[in-house]
Structure 1
Amino acid sequence: MKFIIRRDQLIASVQDVMKAISSRTVIPILSGMKIEAKQHGITLTGSDSDISIESYIPAEEDGNVNVEHIEEGSIVLQAKYFPDIVRKLPENTVEIEADDNLKITIRSGKAEFNLNGQDAEEYPQLPKMQTDDNFEMPTDLLKSMIKQTVFAVSTMETRPILTGVHIKLENNKLTFTATDSHRLASREIPIVNGSTEFSSVVVPGKSLNELNKILNDTEDAVEISVTNNQILFRTRHLNFLSRLLDGNYPETSRLIPDQSKTTLHVKTKELLQTIDRASLLAKEERNNVVRLNTQGDNQVEITSNSPEVGTVSEEITVQSIEGEELKISFSSKYMIDALKAIEYDEVQIEFTGAMRPFIIKPANEDPILQLILPVRTY
């Protein structure tokens, strides 16, 4: 195997596949990175037990040559050293060559590295996904759906199913939902060209966080296909495969109250900054609790006190308050996470009483929803 490749292209691909490589793997060869050279381009692969990433660098694209002098072949490289070597090479091109004894030579300018490789035949085959049942969506929309939900997954392994995001595609509607049983985040969008439906797949939150880092903010389509225990995200140069979580995701729709007693309309940034300030004194106390009291004339008071530290109170003017007066306490961290996830200037917050879950959503009826359980304060 031999080829000469543009270093910036190689670095970008290496960084992507490294997100799937773990030094703590049980299968020694998976701590390496597989490189496969074909006449049409180079494929890099990284995998652990949860996710597998393939990054493809075409030999030629849009009139630019990325890879030349290709002699076909494949090898597994030591992922521990390869990324740093490539990053620090002196020239803009890199020559990589592997001989029959699995020795790899990496040359750039006057620098030359020799590494021991491993036989690519021993690298586990990635499951090939049937791609008949799939649907497409814009990449930037997928990224924003992940961002608006994944933060609410549980970090506790006691209920493993809650460490993932629940995804369903029914009646041309795609819904992402995440909950850790104290809060819930969900987002729904219409899908026009889907040839498939599924009622419940749960993708590990960790997988979606990695996917989000790798995907570019473009309107190009990402193709998504699901089989019984895997989900595949494909873009032009990337295959991202994740295992799914086993188990039944709890029915969350009944958590969402259908009527409200108090509704606030408020500017997102103003409320976010006020709660952020109030939480400064609530750092260690009972889940960073802050209190919200509605007052007349569209005034809302946000307070927090921790007996050892002190108290803080701030009034903010909201666009409108409808319904009953309200005093409610909640975790400032959950509220801050929820407000950050909603990328709109104004939010509507619907309360159904001091001890009931409340809902935060964009004022423009976009189907993004954040739900938070209040905290009982005595």
Structure 2
Amino acid sequence: MKFIIQREYLVRSVQDVMKAVSSRTTIPILTGIKIVATTEGVTLTGSDSDISIESFIPTEEAGDEIVEIKQVGSIVLQARFFSEIVKKLPKDTVEIEVQSNLLTIIRSGKAEFNLNGLDAEEYPHLPQIEENNVFKIPADLLKNMIRQTVFAVSTSETRPILTGVNWKVENNELVCIATDSHRLAMRNAKIETENERSYHAVIPGKSLNELSKILDDTNDLVDIVITENQVLFKTKHLLFFSRLLDGNYPDTSRLIPTESKTEVVLTTKEFLQAIDRASLLAREANNNVVKLSTLPDGVIEVSSISPEIGKVTEEIQSQSIEGEELKISFSAKYMMDALKALESSEIKISFTGAMRPFFIKAINDDTVFHLILPVRTF
């Protein structure tokens, strides 16, 4: 194998596939990146057997030559060394040549590296996916949907299914739900589907985080294919595979309150900053709890007490308060996570009592909302 490639394209592809390479793997060859050169271009693959990423660099794009293929072939190179080498090469072009004993020479300008390669035939094959359940969604919307839900997945392995986000496709709509059993984040959006079937899958939060780092902020469509145990995200030059989580995701619909006793409308930024200040002392008490009380004339009091350190109280003016008086305690972190995900200047919080879940949504947007369980402090 021998080819000459534009370094910036190689660096970008290597960075993308590195997101799937793990140093802690029981299969030694998976600590490497597989490189395959064909007459069409160069394909790089990284995998940790849960996530696999394949990035394709075409020989030319928009009339510009990116890769000059001298000889087709394949090799697996140690990912950690290869990625560091590529980043630090001196010139804009890189020549990669594999000799008969798998020794790989990487040249750029006056720099030359020799790396011992591994046989690409021994690299595990990527999943073969039948493209029956395909839908399309713009990349920037997909990134947003991930960001607005994935933070609420569980980090505990006691219930593995909750470490993923439940994706439901029905009626040309995608609904994403994440919960760690103390809070819930939900986001929905219209999508383009090729059939009217409804199905669902639980995608690991870790996979979605990595995917989100790779996606561009463009409205280019991403093809998404869901099978029984895999999901595939396809962009112009990238394939991103992830395994799905086994098991039944809990029915979250019954958690969502249908009525409320107190409704508060607040300016998001002002409320977020008040919670942030209150959490300065709350954090020390390691339960991170702040208290919210409604006062007359539409005033909200946010407070936190940490017996050994001190206390903080702050009053903020709400846009409106309707319904019963309320005192409620909750995790400052959960509230701040939800407020940051909402992307709205004003929010409405609906409470159904001091010990019942309450939900937060943007004033003019029903596509995203968050549910938080209060904390008993009295």
Shorter-chain TM-score bucket reads over 0.9
- Number of the residue aligned with 1:269: 269
**Contact 2:171–2:198 (CA under 8 A) maintained in structure 1:** no
For residue 67 of structure 2, what is the amino acid of its counterpart?
V
CA distance in 1, matches of 2:286, 2:327: 18
For residue 235 of structure 1, what is the amino acid of its counterpart?
T
- SS of the equivalent of 2:360 reads strand
- Number of the residue aligned with 1:255: 255
**Contact 1:38–1:70 (CA under 8 A) maintained in structure 2:** no
CA distance in 2, matches of 1:62, 1:302: 57
**Contact 1:291–1:327 (CA under 8 A) maintained in structure 2:** yes
Shift of 1:286: 5.1
- Number of the residue aligned with 1:184: 184
**Contact 1:167–1:201 (CA under 8 A) maintained in structure 2:** yes
| 5+ long unaligned stretches in structure 1 | none
CA distance in 1, matches of 2:229, 2:193: 23
- Number of the residue aligned with 2:295: 295
CA distance in 2, matches of 1:209, 1:292: 32
- Number of the residue aligned with 1:34: 34
Higher alpha-carbon deviation: 185-194 or 139-148: 185-194
Shift of 1:215: 0.8
For residue 204 of structure 1, what is the amino acid of its counterpart?
P
CA distance in 1, matches of 2:300, 2:95: 65
- Number of the residue aligned with 2:106: 106
C-alpha distance after superposition, 1:55-102 (max 9, x if no partner): 111111112211114421111011120011111111000000112211
* Residue pairs, 1:7-46, within 5 angstroms: 7-46=7-46
- SS of the equivalent of 1:284 reads helix
C-alpha spacing 1:123/1:196, structure 2 compared with 1 (3 Å): farther
State yes or no: 1:351 paired with 2:361: no
Shift of 1:133: 2.4
For residue 113 of structure 1, what is the amino acid of its counterpart?
F
Higher alpha-carbon deviation: 191-200 or 218-227: 191-200
CA distance in 2, matches of 1:365, 1:187: 10
State yes or no: 1:168 paired with 2:168: yes
**Contact 1:172–1:194 (CA under 8 A) maintained in structure 2:** no
Higher alpha-carbon deviation: 178-187 or 286-295: 286-295
| 5+ long unaligned stretches in structure 2 | none
CA distance in 2, matches of 1:126, 1:365: 40
* Residue pairs, 1:234-245, within 5 angstroms: 234-245=234-245
CA distance in 1, matches of 2:284, 2:187: 31
C-alpha distance after superposition, 1:244-295 (max 9, x if no partner): 0000000001000000011111111111000000000011325211000111
- Number of the residue aligned with 2:220: 220
State yes or no: 1:86 paired with 2:101: no
C-alpha spacing 1:85/1:196, structure 2 compared with 1 (3 Å): farther
C-alpha distance after superposition, 1:292-327 (max 9, x if no partner): 011121110100011101010001011111111111
**Contact 1:349–1:359 (CA under 8 A) maintained in structure 2:** yes
Higher alpha-carbon deviation: 234-243 or 188-197: 188-197
CA distance in 1, matches of 2:292, 2:186: 24
Shift of 1:128: 1.7
**Contact 2:20–2:46 (CA under 8 A) maintained in structure 1:** yes
For residue 337 of structure 1, what is the amino acid of its counterpart?
D
C-alpha spacing 1:196/1:62, structure 2 compared with 1 (3 Å): farther
- Number of the residue aligned with 1:117: 117
CA distance in 2, matches of 1:44, 1:197: 34
- Number of the residue aligned with 1:367: 367
CA distance in 2, matches of 1:25, 1:332: 37
CA distance in 2, matches of 1:105, 1:196: 52
Shift of 1:198: 3.9
- How many residues end up aligned between the 2 structures? 378
- SS of the equivalent of 2:366 reads coil
C-alpha spacing 1:198/1:243, structure 2 compared with 1 (3 Å): farther
- Number of the residue aligned with 2:316: 316
CA distance in 1, matches of 2:199, 2:263: 32
TM-score when scaled to structure 1?
A: 0.98
**Contact 1:17–1:55 (CA under 8 A) maintained in structure 2:** yes
- Number of the residue aligned with 2:128: 128
CA distance in 2, matches of 1:358, 1:172: 28
C-alpha spacing 1:327/1:67, structure 2 compared with 1 (3 Å): same
CA distance in 1, matches of 2:50, 2:69: 35
Cα RMSD after superposing both structures: 1.0
Percent identity for Structure 1 against Structure 2? 65
For residue 67 of structure 1, what is the amino acid of its counterpart?
V
